[in-house]
Chains A and B, each alone.
Chain A
Amino acid sequence: MAHARISMYLPPDINPTQAAIAYGCRALPKLNEELQSEDLLTRQKALMALCDLMHDPEHVYVAIDTGCLESLKALLKDNNDMVRIKTTEVLYIVATHNVGREGFLEHDVILALSYLLNDPQSACRKNLHLAFKHVAQLPSGAQGIVNSGLIPSLVWKLQREEEEIQGLLLDTLAACLMEDATEALGSHVVPFLKQKLLSTNDDIRSKAARTLIAVSIPLEGKNQVWQHDVIPILVHLLKDRVEEVQANAAGALMYATVTTQGKYAALDTEAIHPLLSLLGSSLSKARLNATKALTMLAEAPEGRRFLQSRVPVFRVLEDDTSEAVRRAAQIAVKVIEWKP
């Protein structure tokens, strides 16, 4: 049995890599002070401790309140790699919480983060892009990213980075381009995306197709998509073996065929057959997008003629489980049977 005496020595340091977290509400202010210290080791330990604490939303709120973001911003420019990697990791964890995202926007962290786009450490860049991705999930966050003029550099980075980071970039871009795609269209995003559509990685293909959906929402995007001959590739992707890719490609086609040129380009590349086969897919998203795309194509007389023999298929879809698919099927039938 151990003695009940209190030992004169301090308790052993269980985890020497982490700073000791003070009790209660002193934890975060103390860590904030440690972050600003001169000693490298102290800073690193404080960062490690902060990483663990930031998973709790309450701590995030307190941290932002006590101004941790400012010290973190200063640390982003530190020389030591470890410090930078950990700082970006902390910021990424903060960005997963809504409070954190709003703090980002207030304290202008996005701009500070953008200095690290060319960092030599790949872990640092990965965390950075993760942070951006999470910020972009929020509409105002996406707007913030667009406003800070990062889109051209992000699009440029799409060519250079490794695959994992490319996936993250595509996610970020998809979210941002939903907000405002004009800048991206001006920086050759469509040719880059076209390249990515042909990548061997399934994930990248599906994300690239999703980004294309966002790109082809505005009219300029649709025109560019048609100009760069992306439509044949999209039609080819409709027969891809990954369902997600198929669904996203159908979505992109759905937008691209709104214009007449797009419609005829799609009809020229025999898009109707793969779209019809996609109507039987298991993903509801795929069915929905395919129905919409066929509706677009049915606006054109050639498409209408062809699809008139396939109306029963759409009737079947009207009994689908998803509400949206049912509505889309009804609209499709109406369009096909329209007489001028």
Chain B
Amino acid sequence: MRRQEPEVPLRTGLPAKTAGRNCREVSPPGGTPGCRATAVGDAGWLSVPWGNPSVAPTSCPGNFLSRPPPFLPPLLASGNPCPWQYVHLSGSQDRLAPTCLKAGIHPKRSDLAPGVASTLTDRTCSAMGTYTYTYTSRPRALPCQRRRYRDHLMQLAEEPVHHGNIMYDRRVVRGNTYALHTGPLPGQPDPIEIQRQQQAKRRALAKKRAQEQFRPRTPEPVEGRKHVDVQTEMYLEEIADRIIEVDVECQTDAFLDRPPTPLFIPAKTGKDVATQILEGELFDFDLEVKPMLEVLVGKTIEQSLLEVMEEEELANLRASQYAYEELRNVELAEVQRLAEQEKRHREEKERRKRQQWEVVYKHSETAQKVAARVFAQRYLADLLPSVFDSLRDGGYFYDPVERDIEIGFLPWLMNEVDKTMAYSMVGRTVLDKLIREVVEKRLAAYEQRDDQPPAGKPKDELGGSRRTTEPPVGYELQEQSTAQPQRPLLGRDSLQRTPDDGRYMESVLAQETKLMEEGEYEQTKIRKTSGTEVLQPRGDFQP
């Protein structure tokens, strides 16, 4: 576009691409400055920002220079007296430049300005009939300066007026207005410089237009004719005033997830310190640690490998040892079992043998016993009679009655005989004594008789002597009776006689003494014979 050219050298640093853009790009930088004039319908606001051109956004790195200032004067010539525009012009142009830094006012705006004013008034009349506002500058929609098509020298008013969207207007201040860059940025050229450049631009444009006018054009058409555009190419192109509209649809992208909030990196505080790192100074840990790690890990692994191998070896050894032990145990048990079995069998055999031996032994013994018994029986068969015979001959067998008599009876007999003898002896001695006593007494008595009368005493004496002599006499008599059964009667008779008869006793006594003497002799004879008899068998028995 023609009008864009002067702007290119003015812009420093910005790519040319941005120039073609519409006001849309204004909005991001517009975030920082304060709020801009928004809608057209917003009645009171417009006046304010535009009333203070000093407040107008200046913070933007003012690369957007106003294009319209060169255009505005011609506009005003044709245009309506819009207080807004008036203000626009009345304000110094150099102020305009900075104010419109942000808002790169497009060339199109100048075209739109006249129409805008009228529409604005219309709108205000219609929309705000109820309000009792009076404006110093009526709100109006700004025409968009951007030209869509090549412009003709003859400005055809039929072309629709494109209004600019205030949202995308660079001139509108957005954001806060607290910290706005009022003056030109340091990197920017002087406003005087800017002015000069603008004037130069204007001059160039005027020159161009003048040249345009002098350019030969096609002559005017003859009467009754009309110039008609004709296509001379091979292929005809349909030309239509109506712009071929193509409906383009646009669909917003599907909603994306809200991207994560960018990390908050706080502003840097503190002193800046710079370090210059020379080549080879940086410590690369990975490189450095490698050899050490190798050694460490190597040693550890080596050690552990050794230990594991050792353990494995041990485990293998133990396993083989167990297997061997098992077999050994079994074999040993087998050996022991067999040994035990052997032993038992042997013992069993021994026992059986012994048993057999015993049986045989017993057999033989019994046979021997039997034989011996038989033999002994036979041998001793006539031993007995011979023995008995010899004994009988030897006199060992005795007649029991005879023996009894001999053993029992005869000693008793002898005893008795002894006793009797003794009695008789005693009797004799007593008798002797008696006789002696009697004789002595008789003597005494005789001697006394000689002295005294003999009447009573002899009886007493006799009585006494009878009493004393009785028992021995009795005994004697008994003895005699036992010893000599041939003369018992006599003795008994003598016993039975009454002792009163003393004298008779005396005579008897005398007789008896004689008898006694005889008896004694006999007794002694008997005794002797019996003694000898007794002695004989005794002598036989004794050896």
* A and B are partners in one complex rather than unrelated chains: yes
A residues with a Cβ closer than 8 A to B are 1-2, 14, 52, 55-56, 96-97, 137, 178, 213, 217, 251, 254-255, 258-260, 284-285, 288-289, 292, 295-296, 299, 324, 328, 331
A285 to B326, alpha carbons, bound, how many Å?
Answer: 7
What's the least CB distance linking B241 to chain A, in Å? 76
Whether B317 contacts A299 by the Cβ 8 Å rule is no
A296 to B283, alpha carbons, bound, how many Å?
Answer: 80
A34 to B314, alpha carbons, bound, how many Å?
Answer: 30
Whether A292 contacts B334 by the Cβ 8 Å rule is yes
State whether the Cβ of B332 lies closer than 8 Å to any Cβ in chain A: yes
What's the least CB distance linking B394 to chain A, in Å? 68
Residue ID in chain B nearest A134 by CB atoms: B314
Tell me the number of A-to-B contacts counted with CB atoms below 8 Å.
63
Interface centre among A1, A251, A328 (most CB of B within 10 A): A1
Whether A1 contacts B327 by the Cβ 8 Å rule is no
Among B303, B321, B327, B336, the residue within 8 A (CB) of A324 is B327
What's the least CB distance linking A158 to chain B, in Å? 21
Residue ID in chain B nearest A288 by CB atoms: B330
* Across-interface contacts of A55 in B (CB, < 8 A): 303, 306-307, 310
A179 to B264, alpha carbons, bound, how many Å?
Answer: 82
Within B312-328, the residues touching A (CB, 8 Å) are: 314, 317-318, 321-322, 325-327
Among A1, A96, A213, the residue within 8 A (CB) of B287 is A1
Q: Given A55-B310, A324-B330, verify A1-B340 contact (CB < 8 Å).
A: no
A20 to B188, alpha carbons, bound, how many Å?
Answer: 73
* Across-interface contacts of A254 in B (CB, < 8 A): 329-330, 333
Q: Given A14-B296, A96-B314, A255-B336, verify A56-B306 contact (CB < 8 Å).
A: yes
* Across-interface contacts of B340 in A (CB, < 8 A): 258-259, 299
Residue ID in chain A nearest B327 by CB atoms: A324
A96 to B306, alpha carbons, bound, how many Å?
Answer: 13
A254 to B332, alpha carbons, bound, how many Å?
Answer: 10
Whether A328 contacts B330 by the Cβ 8 Å rule is yes
Whether A1 contacts B330 by the Cβ 8 Å rule is no
Whether B284 contacts A1 by the Cβ 8 Å rule is yes
Bin chain B's interface residue count.
Answer: 20 to 34
* Across-interface contacts of A56 in B (CB, < 8 A): 306
Whether A289 contacts B303 by the Cβ 8 Å rule is no
Q: Mark B287-303, 1 if CB is under 8 A from A, else 0.
A: 11000000010000001
5 closest Cβ pairs, A-B complex: A55-B306, A258-B336, A254-B333, A258-B340, A285-B326
Interface centre among A55, A137, A324 (most CB of B within 10 A): A55
Among B288, B307, B321, B325, the residue within 8 A (CB) of A2 is B288
Interface centre among B284, B310, B325, B333 (most CB of A within 10 A): B333
State whether the Cβ of B453 lies closer than 8 Å to any Cβ in chain A: no
A328 to B329, alpha carbons, bound, how many Å?
Answer: 12
Whether B330 contacts A258 by the Cβ 8 Å rule is no
Whether B329 contacts A251 by the Cβ 8 Å rule is yes
* Across-interface contacts of A259 in B (CB, < 8 A): 340
Can you list 19 A-B contacts with CB-CB less than 8 angstroms, sorted by A residue number? A2-B287, A2-B288, A55-B303, A55-B310, A96-B310, A97-B310, A251-B333, A254-B330, A255-B332, A258-B336, A258-B337, A258-B340, A285-B322, A288-B326, A289-B329, A289-B330, A296-B337, A299-B344, A324-B330
Whether B337 contacts A295 by the Cβ 8 Å rule is yes
* Across-interface contacts of A295 in B (CB, < 8 A): 337
State whether the Cβ of B341 lies closer than 8 Å to any Cβ in chain A: yes
* Across-interface contacts of B341 in A (CB, < 8 A): 299
What's the least CB distance linking A162 to chain B, in Å? 23
Residue ID in chain A nearest B332 by CB atoms: A217
Whether A299 contacts B337 by the Cβ 8 Å rule is yes
Whether A292 contacts B287 by the Cβ 8 Å rule is no
State whether the Cβ of B216 lies closer than 8 Å to any Cβ in chain A: no
* Across-interface contacts of A292 in B (CB, < 8 A): 330, 333-334, 337
* Across-interface contacts of B333 in A (CB, < 8 A): 251, 254-255, 258, 292, 296
Interface centre among B317, B322, B326, B332 (most CB of A within 10 A): B326
A55 to B313, alpha carbons, bound, how many Å?
Answer: 12
Q: Given A2-B287, A96-B310, A255-B336, verify A260-B329 contact (CB < 8 Å).
A: no
A275 to B340, alpha carbons, bound, how many Å?
Answer: 21
* Across-interface contacts of A251 in B (CB, < 8 A): 329, 333
Whether A213 contacts B344 by the Cβ 8 Å rule is no
Whether B317 contacts A137 by the Cβ 8 Å rule is yes
State whether the Cβ of B280 lies closer than 8 Å to any Cβ in chain A: yes
A217 to B328, alpha carbons, bound, how many Å?
Answer: 11
A333 to B55, alpha carbons, bound, how many Å?
Answer: 122
Whether A2 contacts B330 by the Cβ 8 Å rule is no
Whether A260 contacts B344 by the Cβ 8 Å rule is yes
* Across-interface contacts of B329 in A (CB, < 8 A): 213, 251, 254-255, 289
Residue ID in chain B nearest A218 by CB atoms: B336
Given A96-B310, A259-B340, A296-B333, 7 new contacts (CB under 8 A): A2-B283, A56-B306, A217-B332, A255-B333, A299-B344, A324-B330, A331-B334
A290 to B501, alpha carbons, bound, how many Å?
Answer: 131
* Across-interface contacts of B326 in A (CB, < 8 A): 284-285, 288, 324
What's the least CB distance linking A52 to chain B, in Å? 6
Q: Mark B377-420, 1 if CB is under 8 A from A, else 0.
A: 00000000000000000000000000000000000000000000
* Across-interface contacts of A14 in B (CB, < 8 A): 296
What's the least CB distance linking B250 to chain A, in Å? 57
A2 to B287, alpha carbons, bound, how many Å?
Answer: 8
Whether A137 contacts B321 by the Cβ 8 Å rule is yes
* Across-interface contacts of B321 in A (CB, < 8 A): 137
A259 to B332, alpha carbons, bound, how many Å?
Answer: 14
A207 to B327, alpha carbons, bound, how many Å?
Answer: 18
* Across-interface contacts of A260 in B (CB, < 8 A): 344
What's the least CB distance linking A50 to chain B, in Å? 13
* Across-interface contacts of A2 in B (CB, < 8 A): 283, 287-288
A289 to B330, alpha carbons, bound, how many Å?
Answer: 7
A97 to B325, alpha carbons, bound, how many Å?
Answer: 20
What's the least CB distance linking A255 to chain B, in Å? 6
* Across-interface contacts of B322 in A (CB, < 8 A): 285
A324 to B330, alpha carbons, bound, how many Å?
Answer: 8
What's the least CB distance linking A294 to chain B, in Å? 11
What's the least CB distance linking A149 to chain B, in Å? 25
Residue ID in chain A nearest B279 by CB atoms: A1
A62 to B284, alpha carbons, bound, how many Å?
Answer: 42
Within B236-280, the residues touching A (CB, 8 Å) are: 280
What's the least CB distance linking A337 to chain B, in Å? 14
What's the least CB distance linking A282 to chain B, in Å? 15
Q: Given A251-B329, A296-B337, verify A1-B310 contact (CB < 8 Å).
A: no
Among B284, B303, B336, B344, the residue within 8 A (CB) of A52 is B303
A284 to B323, alpha carbons, bound, how many Å?
Answer: 10
Interface centre among B284, B334, B336 (most CB of A within 10 A): B336
A284 to B329, alpha carbons, bound, how many Å?
Answer: 13
Residue ID in chain A nearest B296 by CB atoms: A14
A2 to B288, alpha carbons, bound, how many Å?
Answer: 7
What's the least CB distance linking B410 to chain A, in Å? 80
A73 to B230, alpha carbons, bound, how many Å?
Answer: 124
* Across-interface contacts of B337 in A (CB, < 8 A): 258, 292, 295-296, 299
Interface centre among A2, A258, A295 (most CB of B within 10 A): A258
* Across-interface contacts of B332 in A (CB, < 8 A): 217, 255
Q: Mark B339-368, 1 if CB is under 8 A from A, else 0.
A: 011001000000000000000000000000
* Across-interface contacts of A296 in B (CB, < 8 A): 333, 337
Within B192-210, the residues touching A (CB, 8 Å) are: none
A259 to B282, alpha carbons, bound, how many Å?
Answer: 86
* Across-interface contacts of A299 in B (CB, < 8 A): 337, 340-341, 344
Residue ID in chain A nearest B347 by CB atoms: A260
* Across-interface contacts of B288 in A (CB, < 8 A): 2
A37 to B205, alpha carbons, bound, how many Å?
Answer: 106
